[in-house]
Amino acid sequence: MPSFLLHAALAASLCCAGSAFAHVTLAAADTAAAGGTPQTSAPAREAPVDVSHAWARATVPGQGGTGAFMTLQAATALKLVGVSSPVAGVAQVHEMKMEGSTMHMREMAALELPAHQSVALTPGGYHLMLMDLKQPLAAGSQVTLTLYFTDAKGAPLQRTLQLPVRTTAPDGAGGGAMHRSH
Ligand SMILES: [Cu+2]
């Protein structure tokens, strides 16, 4: 009996893990039906931030990571403190820095978004890093990202976006000269 149940549970978990988008939809429905889960008392508020020029870079099969880019303009001072995506096992806010003559990137704990100022996330600058990709990102498709913010009082806010997947930056996105360095 334990053996049979174990196999059934394993099959179910494999099935659901492979379908990231369906999983997100189900989780949202469960949360709504149950009135919230114990660990998240209330859904985070929608962040008051304008998002423009958003895109994610297409990958080739076997490529495990890529970048996502956009311009953010917050209506009130916010900090961008994290990112997640159903297509990425790990997603981080990164910055690029010259160290000597070499460009390095590293995770940032928080990216400041002063009120009414445009902050560009570009190849070669701040960016969102999608790693441990569960599938290739094909040009012309869409990818879902959720951005996590805190406001001046430390309260959590978030914003979920659909980004177009492209091989090059859209017109006006900036950062074009740095493409090859990423
Ligand atoms: Cu990076």
Cα(56) to centroid(ligand 1), Å: 12
| Unique residue bearing structure tokens 């859904």 | 43
Separation of CA 3 and ligand 1 centre (Å): 43
Ligand 1 is an ion; residues with CB less than 5 A from it: 94, 105, 129
DSSP labels for 15-42? HHHT-HHHHHHHHHHHHHHHTS-TT-SS
From the CA of 68, how far away is ligand 1's center (Å)?
Answer: 9
Phi-psi region of 12 (alpha: psi -120 to 50; beta: other; left: phi over 0): alpha
For 32-57, write each residue's pLDDT tens digit. Answer: 344 434 455 567 899 999 999 999 99
What pLDDT is attached to residue 103?
87
Q: Cβ–Cβ contacts within 10 Å for residue 82, how many?
A: 20
Of all residues in the chain, the percent with pLDDT exceeding 90 is 63
Please report the pLDDT score of residue 18 as a whole number. 31
Q: CA 108, CA 90: separation in Å to the nearest integer?
A: 14
Give pTM, 2 decimals. Answer: 0.72
Give the confidence band of 21 by pLDDT, cuts at 50, 70, 90.
very low
Note whether 72 and 161 are within 8 A (CB). no
Determine the pLDDT at residue 174. Answer: 58
Residue range 45-170 forms a domain whose CATH class is mainly beta
Task: Report pLDDT for 11.
Answer: 35
Rounded to the nearest angstrom, the distance between the alpha carbon of 77 and the centre of ligand 1 is 24
Structural tokens at position 74:
């917050």
Residue type, position 2, single letter:
P
> How many whole angstroms from 4 Cα to the centroid of ligand 1?
44
